[in-house]
Amino acid sequence: MHPSKPIHVFINKVKYELASPVTTGAALKALAGLAAADVLFLQQPREDEVIANDQTITLKNGDHLHSQPPADYGAGPIPEIIVALERELEGHSVTLHQGPDCWTYVVIAGYRLPSGYDRAEVELLVKLAPSYPDAAPDMFWVSPALHTASGALPRATTTERLLGRDWQRYSWHLASGTWTPGVSTMRDFLRAVAARFQRLD
């Protein structure tokens, strides 16, 4: 049997060479210098796949993976830029949570949905990177989980545990170039989220 040829994959947009396409989540984190507690995702066309540390996976040349810090952070001190965010979202029932590495979780209670879902409102969660507002928010989460009126799960959704409970994650991203640092705001992001809900898929 011929030995496997090396392949190249990208982790957080950095290129790495693997001696074999068969590896584990723990080995990939070690290769990229990631903390073992971080969550590793394999990017997929419809829904990103979570790769556990002990999971064996066969990668293809050119596969992309990305990571994020673990979710259950609890509450902590809120930096000034987040205080400003709270003022920007005045009129919404907003709770802010912060944990290690300065990631911030914005939870909006009573978020109203368009007709066509199995409920009228949810809690909406948005995660903000330490570099927000220079970095755009990415993806969003709702609780409880949504179904369309026909009973179907919305496209590209999965369950993820955040802040001590299960949330339905939408693997959804802003189009390239739509977030302008210093100009774009959380309200702009929420308008894009509302447009995603309007698709009813």
pLDDT value of residue 131: 83
pLDDT value of residue 82: 61
pLDDT value of residue 83: 64
Which pLDDT band holds residue 46 (cuts at 50, 70, 90)? low
pLDDT value of residue 3: 56
What are the residues facing 56 on neighbouring strands? 24
pLDDT: which is higher, 176 or 155: 155
**Does 11 have pLDDT greater than 70?**
yes
Average pLDDT over residues 2-13: 83
The rounded mean pLDDT for the chain is 84
Mapped onto helix, strand or coil, the DSSP state of residue 7 is strand
Average pLDDT over residues 41-49: 81
Q: Say which residue the tokens 């979570």 belong to.
A: 50
What percentage of the chain carries pLDDT values higher than 70? 86
Full strand arrangement of the beta sheet holding 64-68: 14-18, 7-11, 64-68, 39-42, 49-51
- Report how far residue 188's alpha carbon sits from residue 10's, in angstroms, rounded to the nearest whole number: 30
Which pLDDT band holds residue 119 (cuts at 50, 70, 90)? very high
Instruction: State pTM to two decimals.
Output: 0.60
**Does 149 have pLDDT greater than 70?**
yes
pLDDT value of residue 79: 53
Residues making up the chain, counted from first to last: 201
Average pLDDT over residues 2-17: 85
DSSP string covering 39-59: EEEE--SSSPEEE-TT-EEE-
pLDDT value of residue 197: 93
Cα–Cα nearest to 168, from 152, 150, 185, 156: 156
pLDDT in tens, 92-113: 788 888 755 678 888 999 999 9
pLDDT value of residue 163: 86
pLDDT value of residue 45: 77
